[in-house]
Amino acid sequence: MDMQYQLKAGSYYLYDMRDEPSAVTGERRFKLKTDTVAIAFDAHTGEVHQHGSPTRIQSWANNTRRRLRAAGAQDMANDIVVVSGPLPVDELNKCLWVNGYVRRMFSRLASLPHGKLQRTTEPFRKAA
């Protein structure tokens, strides 16, 4: 639970929760700010390999697949999957914290809500 994404003003911020909050602002320094998030994982084991900005993760996955295929590990190269887009923050954080959770999220990807739509804690009440 050291790394955690938070959605602020339509952007994903990645924080290392081991860092101490600033004495002045009370906020931690973010490690990454991006509009959409990508996760590269192993489809067979569900292990998360990389996460972050989609451009960097796609580049990492393509280079890793190329190196694995050159080494004769075709099956391992084919098991690398990249999921990107506006993912729900709670699902994204579960992928980082729970081993193998990303495979379950991947199977439900089509039914997940848009990640940047904030859920309200209370339903809206109509005025009387």
Confidence of residue 1 (pLDDT cuts 50, 70, 90): low
Residues 6+ apart with CB under 8 A from 84: 36, 37, 38, 39, 54, 57, 58
pLDDT of 58 above 80: yes
The answer to whether 27 and 21 have CB atoms below 8 angstroms apart is yes
Q: What is the pLDDT of residues 93-115, one digit of tens each?
A: 999 999 999 999 988 888 887 76
Q: Transcribe 26-51 into DSSP letters.
A: --PPEEEEESSEEEEEETTT--EEEE
Mean pLDDT of 47-56: 95
Q: What is the pLDDT of residues 15-32, one digit of tens each?
A: 988 888 888 888 888 899
